[in-house]
Amino acid sequence: MADISTAPTTGDIRTKTVRIDSDLSGEEYTAVDFDGTDRNVVNAVADGNTQGFILITAGDGSSTETAGVIVLSGRTKAELVGSVEAGDHLVPSTGGALVKNTTDKKFSCAVALEEGVSGDIISVEAIQGVMSV
């Protein structure tokens, strides 16, 4: 496996440039979701019941419109809350850090590629539309 300790992503990755209209500086590797009224803008996850996308470029830190980059699929990194093992499906928590998916019929946004605990930034495989059973 390639060492990705110094790079945010490796391998085949699909990203999307998005608009950010709030200060998300320092929120790289956390989950964001699309604004309910403007589907071209992303915001910090307000609650854990949303389909999250991992933010890898958080813009310039201003509260006016700026550009950011989210991961649609592929290997990247994500910040954790709670303990996870490799292979666990992850969902956004309130605030955006990812947590182990323990709820049936909830969409995961990533799969852990290594173990970690709260505050760690680990390697993950970003996925979209995969529901736990």
pLDDT tens digits for the chain (133 residues)?
Answer: 333 334 444 568 999 999 988 888 889 999 999 887 887 788 888 777 788 899 999 877 776 778 899 999 999 999 999 999 999 999 999 889 999 998 877 788 999 999 999 999 999 999 987 776 5
* Burial class of residue 77 in the structure, from the number of CB atoms within 10 Å of its CB (0-12 exposed, 13-18 middle, 19+ buried): buried
Dist. CA 61–CA 46, nearest whole Å:
19
- Residue 121 sits at the vertex; the CA angle it makes with 126 and 123, to the nearest 5 degrees, is 40
Q: Which two tokens stand for residue 72?
A: 């649609």
| Residue 11 vs residues 14, 105, 112: alpha-carbon distances, Å | 10, 29, 16
The H or E element containing residue 128 is strand 121-131
pLDDT for residue 5? 39
In this prediction, residue 11 carries a pLDDT of 62
DSSP letter at 84 equals B
Q: How far is CA 47 from CA 5, 6, 33, 43, 87, in A?
A: 29, 30, 10, 11, 23
